[in-house]
Structure 1
Amino acid sequence: MVNILKKTLKLKDWLKSYRQFDWIVIGCILFLMLPILTLLTMGDQVPFQVQYFSWEGKKVGVKNKTFTLSFNRPVNTNSVEKNLIIEPPLPGRISWQGRTLIYTLDDPPIYGTNYQIKLENVQLSYQDEEIKSFVSLFSTRDRVLAYIGIEGEEKGRLILYNITNLSQPQKTILTPPDLIVTNFKIYPNSEKIIFSAFEPNLRSNELATQELYTVTTGFNVDPSKTPSQRAGKLKSILDAQEYQNINFALSQNGEVIVVQRVNHRNKNDESLWLIKDNNKIISLGIPGSEFVIAPDGKSLAVSQQGGIRMISLGGDGNNSRIFANYEKPLSFSPFSEKLLLVKDNVDYTRSLVVVDKNGENKEVFRSPYPILGCEFEPRDEQVIYCLKTDVIQGENGQYRPEPFLSVINLKEGTDFPLLALPNSENVMLSMSPDGVALLFDQVVTTSPQSSTDLLTTEKQAIADGQVWLLPLPDLKEENKSLKIQPRELIFGFKPQWLP
């Protein structure tokens, strides 16, 4: 009897605990059902809106070719495309991937510009509901150039010059006063610059002691990925203990450096050397004083006796080809598909020739005078700006060379002179990344007097120098005017735009 009573009590306890658990489960179900019932009763209260804009609050540059807009519901794509407004206008092409709009720019955005993107009165694809108004801002990189100073505390030092606001430009000196900078190239993210320089008190044989360094600019394209570094932080890249570093080039993607070097003890030991990301330096085993690297860093064009040698910088570095009777390489197109070369002709003239990736060549023009340099227009590979030489008669009856700038359309075969550059035999050009302006310098030279003299490539001392800004005409306009006026910027030389 006692056993039966004990079993009865245990059963009651079990039923009691079961009822408690059951109530807990029912309570959880009711709690979870409440928002579902509310949503079914009242409908989705989240407004139709832009969920994500990839350029919101960012500074973009020429490498940024597309942005995306993502919506929280399916949209009427025609309505979106009709009501999308960008101010100032930024022409482009629209494509779709589900609820995401992809906008691909036709031209690089203009630097130093604030843009507004706006969407209003857009409808859903399945009901007549307007979008929540969307307005966002993004901007482009500042208009910044680098140059070598020429007077006072700036002499021989590498300097940044921000001209986004031309009425209030900002100047930053990057290198210390005990280094005389001779040349420099800018990395594609604008975060650092590679330059060659020497210490004047160590100068023994002209530029025999110059070394390669990098210096930070203080710019940071994407602070979310890498921390910002202060401007002016130096790092040694290549010393001059065994070899003299004469000249160097940097690929546009920033992955390849080529240096012209000569052995201090054996002047016959002259070669181009290759430096890649790991800073390991190897000799290419070929000489060359004039050379250009393809933007993708995969090939090198070198001027040699009898022609231009094209060298692969990939895994099979021994692959090469020769373009006979060419004088020097000038520049590659932005996508490495074309190369501009200067060719010597039997009639003692020179031709500018464009060579495509298949080796097919086309003569652009022929001149009895030197062709100093050419650059592709970044918005249109069919347009190039060339620095040519003409011969004019001076007031004393003597003939002298005079450089001038012209714009050439490779497709149409047109050639328009833009600007004469008197007394500018050592002029250097730099095309802005957005293609709207050109930098050039004019220097006055004299015979070297001191170890601290700034020198041209012809070893002449620079007594004075001026950097100029040249606004370029919009060649797409039908009623274009090619009458343009340069503007004086600052004292200095070798100006280059930051990408």
Structure 2
Amino acid sequence: MENKPNKKAWHQKLKQFDWIVLGCIIVLSLLLGSLLVRGEQVPLQVSYFSWEGKKVGVQDRTFNLKFNRPVNQDSVEKNLTIDPPLPGRITWQGKTLIYTLNDPPIYGTNYQIKLQNAQRSYDENTIEPFVSLFTTRDRVLAYIGIEKEERGRLILYNITDINQPKKTILTPRDLVVTNFKIYPNSEQIIFSAFEPSLRTQGITKQELYAVTTGFNISPSINPSQRAGRLKRILDANDYQNLSFDLSKNGKTIIVWRINNKNQADSSLWIIPEEEKPRSLGIPGSNFVISPDGKRLAVAQQGGIRIVPLGSDAGSSQILSNYEKTLGFSQNGEKLLLVKDNVDYTRSLVLINKDGEKQELLRTPYPIIDCEFEPREKQNIYCLKTDLIQGENGQYHEEPFLSVVNLKTKTDLPLLALPNYRDVVLSMSPDGVALLFDQVVTTVPQSEYDLLTSEKQAIADGQLWLLPLPELEGAKKSIKIQPQELTTGFKPQWLP
């Protein structure tokens, strides 16, 4: 009869290490089972929303919804709603939904995002309902004041509540502001100004400053700063600072400067972010920077010069027979120029990054300015002049606003702006309204006069808000009524 090992003998053969391994397996099995049971008890839900409690702006085009476990993607896409509607497209990365907006969100709006009745990936049970709110930036503009304590100072004007607008004076009385540009995060404004005591020297003594607005888009990253905190960027000790531009990303400043001791030493200077200014050795008073700050378009005799500002910005080129630059598109891939023609007319021309040219319109009269519409990206709003016969039978140039469609090349008149040629346009970041000014000018009589870019004294000025109409299907002139805002000039929307 075969001898069977008894239980005691079998235990004796196990080594100590084997007992440790067996114990670990038992413990891990128990833990795994516990996790499976507890995991099933935790409901499937949205675990993270990237715009939770955030004030979003035109730069914010994508938000994320993360789920704690796999979800039925089709059911999520069918049941996700945003109110007011905010059209966009959905992509997925594992358990994360990525929503990319088709158009910028409307400023001064509260949005609700809701997900209900979405299903789990492995059965038809619904996940936990999700509701959240996010808001957009306020509708705020900046301008240079004209009346009383605002005169010559930089003013913020919050019109989110149009019935109770709020003004904030940013600059002190001892500075007269001549021009300004706004940083993309709206937290700072760069401006040129001179001291009132130096009015007889005026623009030759203006310096560059930055001032805080009091807005804080990312409070968790940057500490809040009160409005009106000044910082000098560029003095006028050795050079006159005549005009400047700021790239849309806020990383590059270009300044036109003239040497105080040698007027022939006139060139553009670059001030990269966190770096010292340096001369580019390129003359020019009419110039614009690409949104990424890597290219500079400068009007020079005989045409427009495209200047690379970095090693990865391509090569320099000359665009012959162009009169001036009007600006880059939002993505920087297209450049809008005014061309001189041999028949003494002017053409509005759009040039893409590959050098392909598209003539949008031709006119015998000046093209003053144009603004790209950021929503549909199919229209450009332009300020042009027309020849109008007055009551005395004499003709005079009168500005008017029109919209040019990039696809059809149609030019639709919108609004006449009589009596003043030097109008400043500013397109709202969400593309739903235009700002413009209309000032009354006279011959300068005192060193205390505020001056336009054409050196005329400003006797009075008014800011206007023009809600942009629905243009689809429009073939004739559209009647639109601008809204009067406040006194001032050179208005600009905060991004």
Pick the aligned partner of 1:340 from 336, 352, 355: 336
Give the match for residue 45 of structure 1: 41
Is the alpha carbon distance of 1:225 and 1:40 closer, same or farther for their aligned partners in structure 2, counting shifts above 3 Å? closer
Check if 1:413 corresponds to 2:436.
no
Check if 1:63 corresponds to 2:47.
no
Q: Does the 8 Å CA contact 1:474/1:480 hold for their aligned counterparts?
A: no
Give the match for residue 392 of structure 1: 388
Is the alpha carbon distance of 1:361 and 1:407 closer, same or farther for their aligned partners in structure 2, counting shifts above 3 Å? same
Is the alpha carbon distance of 1:319 and 1:73 closer, same or farther for their aligned partners in structure 2, counting shifts above 3 Å? closer
1:204 Cα deviation after fit: 3.8
Is the alpha carbon distance of 1:170 and 1:41 closer, same or farther for their aligned partners in structure 2, counting shifts above 3 Å? closer
1:130 Cα deviation after fit: 1.2
For 2:381 and 2:356, the matched residues in 1 are separated by 21
Q: Structure 2: give runs of 5+ residues left out of the alignment.
A: 1-18
Q: Which secondary structure does the structure 1 equivalent of 2:317 belong to?
A: strand
4+ runs of 1 displaced by more than 3 Å?
Answer: 28-43, 315-319, 475-482
Check if 1:425 corresponds to 2:430.
no
RMSD of the TM alignment (CA)?
2.2
Give the match for residue 305 of structure 1: 301
Q: In the TM superposition, what are the counterparts of 1:24-423 in structure 2 within 5 Å?
A: 44-315=40-311, 319-423=315-419
For 2:140 and 2:118, the matched residues in 1 are separated by 39
1:381 Cα deviation after fit: 3.1
Is the alpha carbon distance of 1:478 and 1:39 closer, same or farther for their aligned partners in structure 2, counting shifts above 3 Å? farther
For 2:364 and 2:475, the matched residues in 1 are separated by 32
Q: Which secondary structure does the structure 1 equivalent of 2:203 belong to?
A: coil
For 2:110 and 2:488, the matched residues in 1 are separated by 29
Q: Does the 8 Å CA contact 2:380/2:405 hold for their aligned counterparts?
A: yes
For 1:490 and 1:58, the matched residues in 2 are separated by 30
Q: Does the 8 Å CA contact 1:473/1:480 hold for their aligned counterparts?
A: no
Q: Does the 8 Å CA contact 1:157/1:174 hold for their aligned counterparts?
A: yes
1:424 Cα deviation after fit: 2.2
Provide TM-score, normalisation by structure 2.
0.92
Is the alpha carbon distance of 1:73 and 1:40 closer, same or farther for their aligned partners in structure 2, counting shifts above 3 Å? closer
Q: Partner amino acid for 2:117?
A: N
Q: Does the 8 Å CA contact 1:237/1:279 hold for their aligned counterparts?
A: no
Give the match for residue 15 of structure 2: none
For 2:37 and 2:321, the matched residues in 1 are separated by 83
Is the alpha carbon distance of 1:395 and 1:481 closer, same or farther for their aligned partners in structure 2, counting shifts above 3 Å? closer
Give the match for residue 9 of structure 2: none
Q: Partner amino acid for 2:262?
A: N
Equivalent residues, number: 475
Q: Partner amino acid for 2:363?
A: S
Q: Does the 8 Å CA contact 1:473/1:481 hold for their aligned counterparts?
A: no
| Range 462-471 or range 196-205, more displaced | 196-205
Q: Partner amino acid for 2:258?
A: V
1:417 Cα deviation after fit: 0.7
Q: Does the 8 Å CA contact 2:414/2:477 hold for their aligned counterparts?
A: no
Alpha-carbon displacement from aligned partner over 1:399-424 (angstroms, at most 9, x marks no partner): 11111111111112221111111112
Provide TM-score, normalisation by structure 1.
0.91
Q: Does the 8 Å CA contact 1:351/1:363 hold for their aligned counterparts?
A: yes
For 1:481 and 1:365, the matched residues in 2 are separated by 17
For 1:283 and 1:41, the matched residues in 2 are separated by 69
Alpha-carbon displacement from aligned partner over 1:432-473 (angstroms, at most 9, x marks no partner): 000000000001111222222111111111110000000002
Q: Partner amino acid for 1:150?
A: I
| Range 435-444 or range 275-284, more displaced | 275-284
Give the match for residue 8 of structure 2: none
Q: Partner amino acid for 1:244?
A: Q
Give the match for residue 6 of structure 1: none
Q: Partner amino acid for 2:256?
A: Q
For 2:433 and 2:473, the matched residues in 1 are separated by 16
Pick the aligned partner of 1:460 from 453, 456, 479: 456
For 2:385 and 2:427, the matched residues in 1 are separated by 19
1:338 Cα deviation after fit: 0.7
Alpha-carbon displacement from aligned partner over 1:4-54 (angstroms, at most 9, x marks no partner): xxxxxxxxxxxxxxxxxx9xxx9x999998876666668721112111111
Q: Which secondary structure does the structure 2 equivalent of 1:44 belong to?
A: helix
Is the alpha carbon distance of 1:260 and 1:39 closer, same or farther for their aligned partners in structure 2, counting shifts above 3 Å? closer
For 1:58 and 1:41, the matched residues in 2 are separated by 36
